[in-house]
Amino acid sequence: MAQQASDNTMLIDALFDIFRNHGYEGTTISLLSEVTGLQKSSLYHHFPAGKEDMLKAVVGYVSLQIHQNIIAPLLNTQSKPEKRFSNMIATIKAFYNDGRKNCLLNVLNLGEAKAEIKKLQNDDYCAWLDALTQLSIEVGISQQEATEWAERFLIVIEGALVIQRLTSNKQVFEKQMEYEQKQFHKFLNQ
């Protein structure tokens, strides 16, 4: 398990980048060793339970990022909803490097094994969904419409990442994010 987060952040960030590029099965200890510059056994020192442990640490790290950088700011009623939304878009763009980086969600194919990790991801998804729903309700949308809009927003993120990965058209993701911006502004002016 990865304690002392402060020291290990860079390490986990490197692991994160590999897992999102190669998926779980496609990620090998050798590759992790190569990229981090640590020998395999050193990696096992940090993560005694091996690869799955490393993934857990990564997912936990991403979870933290989502809560701190996306969900908390979304719920912070001190700034205007439109500002919070556009800040989120900016954060997302950076997080996915304008669509050039994958989302762990669509690259990990976690079956019934690894249910624990899947649960973590699902919780994050739900929290994000709730925050978005909140925000749009705040702007005057009905509960019903708000939930549907929020769900579709997250669906579009995932879908755009998948399609951009396929087409190597570097604009797919950004275009969708712009579209979502416009949609949100329509909400404001209703």
62 binds, among its own copies, DNA, none (CB under 5 to 8 A by kind): none
Read off the tokens for 181.
């911006």
User: Residue type for 84, please?
Assistant: R
Q: Which is nearer to DNA, 41 or 144 (CB)?
A: 41
Q: Which is nearer to its own copies, 38 or 154 (CB)?
A: 154
Q: Which is nearer to DNA, 24 or 95 (CB)?
A: 24
Neighbours of 50 (CB within 10 A): 12
Q: Assess contact for 94 and 164: CB atoms under 8 A.
A: no
160 binds, among its own copies, DNA, none (CB under 5 to 8 A by kind): its own copies
User: Residue type for 52, please?
Assistant: E
Q: Which is nearer to its own copies, 81 or 136 (CB)?
A: 136
30 SS3 class = helix
Residues that bind DNA (CB under 7 A): 4, 27-30, 37-42, 44-46, 48-52
Helix, strand, coil share of the chain (percent; to 5): 80, 0, 20
Nearest to 16 by CA among 98, 120, 108: 108
Residues that bind its own copies (CB under 8 A): 21-26, 102-103, 105-107, 109, 111, 118, 121-122, 125-126, 148, 151-152, 154-160, 162-163, 165-168, 172, 175-176, 179
152 binds, among its own copies, DNA, none (CB under 5 to 8 A by kind): its own copies
Task: Give the N- to C-terminal CA distance of the chain in Å, as an integer.
Answer: 49
CB of 154 to DNA, least distance (A): 30
